Structure 1
Amino acid sequence: MSSTSPTSTSGTITPDLKAGQLRNLILATLASTIGFWAWTIVGPLSKRYAQQMELDATQTAVLVAMPILVGAVCRVPVGALTDRYGGRVMFTVILGLTAPLVLLTGIVGQLNNFGLLVAVAFFLGIAGTVFAIGIPFCSAWYESHRKGFATGVFGAGMVGTAVSAFFTPRLVAGIGYLGAHITIAVLVALTAVACWLLLRDSPVHAAKTPEPVLPKITHAFTLPVTWQLCFLYGVVFGAFVAFSNYLPTYLDNVYGFDATAAGTRTAGFALAAVIARPIGGILADKIGPRTVTLASFAGTAMLAMVVAFQPGQERVYGPTFLLMALFLGLGTGGVFGWVGRAAPAKDVGTIGGIIAAAGGLGGYFPPLVMGATYNPENNSYFVGLALLAGFAILSLLLALTVRNGGKIDERTHP
């Protein structure tokens, strides 16, 4: 199949092209997994950095949160560029830029220079923009009634955070700190090559007329649903990203786990959310995204308060964290199940990029709040977790106001 697949005159997906749906969805999900791994390699090694550079809780939180910032902000232009140039080009470019940044992180991490490592971690955040590429790429391959399935399955690529939490400390222990970063960088580079050779853009994208990027972004910001879903996704995905990156530090401070043990538990948390995400997308197709989202925020609020009181036995806090991850995963699938319904088809990439950026920004601030509100005398993160519960309740109320119907009428929203 050529890079610009044949289409019908209407630009719809014809039966003979349906075979490309699953293949491209799986490839994009794998690319996202590798991108998320690269995006989150700092968090699992936070204890190592803290010990080597004698960092306090706030400095550690800044370091862990820094890649999230760029990964969030840059999702807006990357989503718009995906609308223009397609997912095949954008996956290749972003992963191609990420590979040397992973290697540079490994080199700088050996210099024990906090400021320089923060700067490199900042640019490493570009890896997180793969999410803004995959949402419009995968959504364009599927019919409107299956977009929740497509974006839900693609969203499972955030399992890369679990892969990072589980394998990164083990690679460091097995082949050394620099060797681990070289290995990950090579894997990212090979994935970039595979994207160029194997991915193909949907015929729906091929039928689009290219539009300037800035007007598309400006138009997306004029739609109320963009702002509503930004807040909801900022809370639910932000909480997932924050925990996936900060949980190793949390488990070390509160329960005294070493890097490998904390990474294993963090991987379990991320995996639970990943499994729940496509389920959330599928349920959004069947019973509506509002129902899924309301259940997500209700469960998150209750479980955040349970965790805030820091139960002492792992048989209590372990399942509690896993249940919270499941609710967060359902919510990420449910909220993005709303995008395909509410966004004009030609703006899905741009609006999806903005909402994905909000999710990334939602993950940037919680580690900073957790570090700033940490009570070292009691090993307590009560304030930060109570704030999460409060924002979950606020999001639940907002979700009641978002329209639950079909797509915006393209005659009124061109």
Structure 2
Amino acid sequence: MNSGTPVFDKSAQVRNLVLATWTSTICFWAWNMIGPMSTTYADRLDLSSSQASMLVATPILVGSLGRIVTGPLTDRYGGRVLFIFVALASIIPVLAVGFSAEADSYVMLLVSGFVLGVAGTVFAIGIPFAKSWYESSRHGFATGVFGAGMVGTALSAFFTPRFVRWFGLVPTHVIIAVALAVTAGLCVVLMKDSPEFTANSEPVVPKLVAAAKLGVTWEMSFLYAIVFGGFVAFSNYLPTYIKTIYDFSAVDAGTRTAAFALAAVIARPIGGSLSDRIPPKWVVLASLAGTGVLAVVAAFQPPPDFWSAVTFIALAIFLGIGTGGVFAWVARRSPAKSVGSVTGIVAAAGGLGGYFPPLIMGATYDEADNNYTVGLLLLALTAAAALAYTAFKLSSHEPEAVTAQQKS
């Protein structure tokens, strides 16, 4: 790394951060193509609650585990190459999901959803890419803005059911595939790696092992699994939840899910920016406290449409602030040469945190009383445990990345 504070071309900073955020947005849309349509597929294929949950959760699992690979590969090859690769690699799975759904094949949908997970790996690319383009005092801002690319889940929730109604099932997936191709082309022409980026040519496996030995990796993984995992889980499963509990149509459920995702997206850069000004610990504590309380409130099934909306949008805001706070903490504490590897593991943990809740919600759904009380109370208990751990075990003034690197 260069000595002293790096000087960046402001226009290049903005251009590359915007491009990275847009690429994340369209990839998140692709990653979430199944969730908004899950209730439709469940009706067409006569799926049980557990089968529908598995359909929603499968892309989350693969997208999460894949981040363990794309993180360290970003350290080696730079974000530009990986952004282009993920955008192009997501095209065929998106098309496969559309054709599988048109064929009314549950097995083909599961397989296509499995491969679709590649789109979700984009997150582990963008965090080190965005961080490398900004001075250390603005890392929270940069990673928070990039993280706002998860607005793609909101766009998918809102537009995917409408596109299917307007254009048809397969044409909708063709539209997203074309958007992915155009995005890859923009990255080829306009995106550049930061002048501060230095390729790390060390083998991937030893880098992952080294990152796994850092305490920060597992501490942040635990927290991110709750805040980002909660966001991913609700963004994907909320259409099913809303239709089941409140009997809204797929389009109306998608609209309400989009509002949830948008609130979290807006809150994320706020959490990142706050963490540039105050210790990230306090931002994360506020997030966990709010998440736990609102999960309990949601368990009482507030009536539609005002009080249920207030409950879930407030929950989204607390989760969004937490995601920004955790990754600002990651950027502050990770060794410079291992930020991609640490990011990959932490991002994978966040995605995995979103994999299990839909399965739990489906498995614990009380059909007789039509409620998800058990699943929501488990979220509240998990948030409470994380709150206690963060409050009593983690310091407000964490060692800088250089110190952490020396200890590793």
Aligned counterpart, 1:3: none
Could you tell me the percent identity over the aligned residues? Answer: 54
Is 1:342 the counterpart of 2:333 in the alignment? Answer: yes
1:212 aligned partner: 203
2:185 aligns with 193
Paired residues for 1:92-131 under 5 Å:
92-131=84-123
Aligned match of 1:174:
166
> How far has the Cα of 1:94 moved from its partner?
0.6
Cα distance in 2 for residues equivalent to 1:136 and 1:123: 24
Q: Distance in 2 between matches of 1:155 and 1:116?
A: 31
**SS of corresponding position for 1:310:** coil
User: Alignment partner for residue 34 of structure 1, among 26, 43, 59?
Assistant: 26
TM-score (norm 1): 0.95
Match of 1:329 among 320, 324, 330: 320
Determine the structure 2 residue equivalent to 1:373: 364
Give me the whole-angstrom Cα distance separating, in 2, the residues matched to 1:123 and 1:247.
22
Matching residue of 1:405 = 398
| 8 Å Cα contact 2:364/2:375 also seen in 1 | yes
Alignment CA distance shift 1:297-1:74 (3 Å):
same
What one-letter code is carried by the residue in structure 1 that aligns with 2:265? Answer: V
Letter in 2 for 1:412: Q
Deviation at residue 47 of structure 1 after TM alignment: 1.2
Q: Aligned-pair distance for 1:10? A: 2.3
Root-mean-square deviation (CA), in Å? 1.3
What residue ranges of structure 2 are gaps of 5+ in the alignment? none
CA distance in 1, matches of 2:206, 2:313: 42
1:373-405 CA-partner distances (Å, limit 9, x unpaired)? 001111100000000000111111121222333
**Counterparts of 1:295-314 in structure 2 under 5 Å?**
295-314=286-305
TM-score normalized by the length of structure 2? 0.97
2:50–2:362 Cα contact (<8 Å) kept: yes
The alignment partner of 1:74 has SS state of helix
Q: Distance in 1 between matches of 2:200 and 2:256?
A: 47
Q: Secondary structure at the match of 1:210?
A: coil
1:387 partnered with 2:378 = yes
Structure 1 unaligned regions, length at least 5:
1-8
Native 8 Å contact 2:59 2:114 kept in 1: yes
2:248 aligns with 257
Q: How far, CA to CA, are the matches of 2:3 and 2:365 in structure 1?
A: 54
Choose 388-397 or 110-119, whichever is displaced more. 110-119
Q: Which residue of 2 aligns with 1:24?
A: 16
Which of 153, 157, 174 is matched with 1:161 structurally?
153
The change in CA–CA distance for 1:276 and 1:411 in structure 2 (over 3 A counts) is: closer
Q: Is the 8 A contact 2:96 2:112 kept in 1?
A: yes
268-277 or 186-195, which deviates more: 186-195
Kept in 1, the 8 Å contact 2:75–2:200? The answer is: no
For residues 258-301 of structure 1, what are the alpha-carbon distances to aligned partners after superposition, in whole Å with 9 as ceiling and x for unaligned?
11100000000000000000000000110110000000000010
Match for residue 235 of structure 1? 226
Q: Deviations over 1:119-178 (max 9, x none)?
A: 110110110011000001001111111111110010000000000000000100000111
1:280 aligns with 2:271: yes
Change (3 A) 1:13 1:111: farther
CA distance in 2, matches of 1:44, 1:14: 43
Query: How many angstroms apart in 2 are the aligned matches of 1:384 and 1:119?
Result: 27
Q: Is 2:82 the counterpart of 1:90?
A: yes
Secondary structure (helix, strand or coil) at the match of 1:25 reads: helix
1:247 pairs with one of 232, 235, 238 = 238
1:146 partner letter: R
Q: CA deviation at 1:48?
A: 1.2
**Contact 2:78 2:199 (8 Å CA) reproduced:** no
1:203 match: secondary structure: coil
